[in-house]
Amino acid sequence: MANSVTSVGSTTSSSTVVENDAFNLSGASVTVQATGTVVKSSKSAAAVINDLIAEKDAWFTNAYKTSNDQLYALLAKCYEFYEQLKTGDDAAKLRKELDAYISEKNYMFSAGSHTLTKIVKCVFGADRRRVSAYSIVLRTALANQLKVADIADFIRESGGVEEVRLAKSPNAMSAKQKAEAGADSLTSKSIVNVTAPAFSEKLDAGNIGKPVVLLGTWNADGSISVHSFTNSAGAVNAALVAHFAQVKAVADAKKAEVTAANDSQIAKDAVTQAVAEATTLALAA
């Protein structure tokens, strides 16, 4: 039987990436319909995971920097494999095979680890940040009772993997928020004002007061030679995020120092209090 994923009523190329994507699972029949119906696979859990790993490796090598669609399609397949573990004639067999695969690879999970987390780790490896992010995306989709065919569009319409992850972490900041915070901190300090004819020639009045990135190199005397500059959104935002990280690191270090100092003082006060109480008891005796 041909190995394929079929979909009814696909209207966009982005949906086609997931809904009509070939699974390349030789000897297996895996069909995802528009209703989200999952037809059982005749392959073992290890074989399915190994095929997903091979596809992950191909994505990571060839399209990691340019194709989110391929990643979203792969995550949809992980989700579909999870669905196969829930229902169907082979569900119990696949669950046992997944456990055996995890044991063989010596992957460690806490007792409360979700099965989707286990699948993601088996496919994408032990990178904790990546496993956590992808697992959150798929568990969010599961909580929303999404069908396999809807996964890619869900991630895309949510703004990507990182935005879905951040939505589950109320205290986390998105890259956009970090860039905005970095821009706000620029007004508090200036190192030096740099002037050059090239700057004046390229000045757009609409950019006055807005961040710009200077590209330079360090000199032996500690000065910096500026070679180029840009106000492109990508370069500016990346620089602002990096600046925010530096500012936050300094603030966190100072906070740690204050906390340590306070803890030290508290400890000293406790010792002083204990000595005073011991002295009082001794005198009373």
Kindly state whether residues 21 and 155 are assigned to the same domain.
Answer: yes
Kindly state whether residues 118 and 258 are assigned to the same domain.
Answer: no
**Contact, 160 vs 166, CB < 8 A?**
no
Asked if residue 121 is part of any domain, the answer here is: yes
How would residue 11 be classed by pLDDT, with cut points 50, 70 and 90? very low
Give the amino acid at 223: S
pLDDT over 60 at 4, yes or no: no
Kindly state whether residues 39 and 144 are assigned to the same domain.
Answer: yes
Kindly state whether residues 179 and 237 are assigned to the same domain.
Answer: yes
Kindly state whether residues 88 and 161 are assigned to the same domain.
Answer: yes
Residue range(s) defining the domain that contains residue 197: 175-284
Give the amino acid at 93: K
The rounded mean pLDDT for the chain is 76
Between 216 and 284, where is the model more confident? 216
Average pLDDT over residues 8-20: 36
- In whole angstroms, give the CA distance from residue 1 to residue 6: 13
Kindly state whether residues 96 and 54 are assigned to the same domain.
Answer: yes
Query: In this predicted structure, which of 57-71, 188-202, 204-218 has the lowest mean pLDDT?
Result: 57-71
Domain count across the chain: 2
Q: Which of 62-76, 125-139, 234-248, 256-270 has the highest mean pLDDT?
A: 125-139
Between 260 and 68, where is the model more confident? 68
Q: Which residues contact 51 (CB under 8 A, 6 or more apart)?
A: 23, 24, 25, 43
Kindly state whether residues 186 and 145 are assigned to the same domain.
Answer: no
Residues of the chain with pLDDT > 90, as a percent, come to 27
Last residue of a domain, one of 115, 135, 167: 167
Tell me: the pLDDT tens digits for 220-256?
888 889 999 988 888 888 887 777 777 777 776 766 6
Residue 216 DSSP symbol: E
pTM of the model: 0.47
Asked if residue 6 is part of any domain, the answer here is: no
Last residue of a domain, one of 167, 202, 234: 167
Kindly state whether residues 144 and 22 are assigned to the same domain.
Answer: yes
The pLDDT value recorded for residue 169 is: 58
pLDDT over 70 at 139, yes or no: yes
Query: In this predicted structure, which of 3-12, 41-50, 51-60, 139-148 has the lowest mean pLDDT?
Result: 3-12
pLDDT over 60 at 171, yes or no: no
Asked if residue 144 is part of any domain, the answer here is: yes
Asked if residue 3 is part of any domain, the answer here is: no
How would residue 16 be classed by pLDDT, with cut points 50, 70 and 90? very low
- In whole angstroms, give the CA distance from residue 265 to residue 204: 55
Average pLDDT over residues 48-76: 82
Kindly state whether residues 151 and 220 are assigned to the same domain.
Answer: no
The pLDDT value recorded for residue 13 is: 37
Asked if residue 20 is part of any domain, the answer here is: yes
Kindly state whether residues 273 and 242 are assigned to the same domain.
Answer: yes
Asked if residue 2 is part of any domain, the answer here is: no
pLDDT over 90 at 43, yes or no: no
Going by C-alpha positions, the residue among 42, 35, 41, 43 that lies closest to residue 19 is 35
- In whole angstroms, give the CA distance from residue 140 to residue 160: 13
Asked if residue 8 is part of any domain, the answer here is: no
Kindly state whether residues 104 and 238 are assigned to the same domain.
Answer: no
Kindly state whether residues 131 and 255 are assigned to the same domain.
Answer: no
- In whole angstroms, give the CA distance from residue 141 to residue 136: 8
Asked if residue 1 is part of any domain, the answer here is: no
Last residue of a domain, one of 167, 193, 219: 167
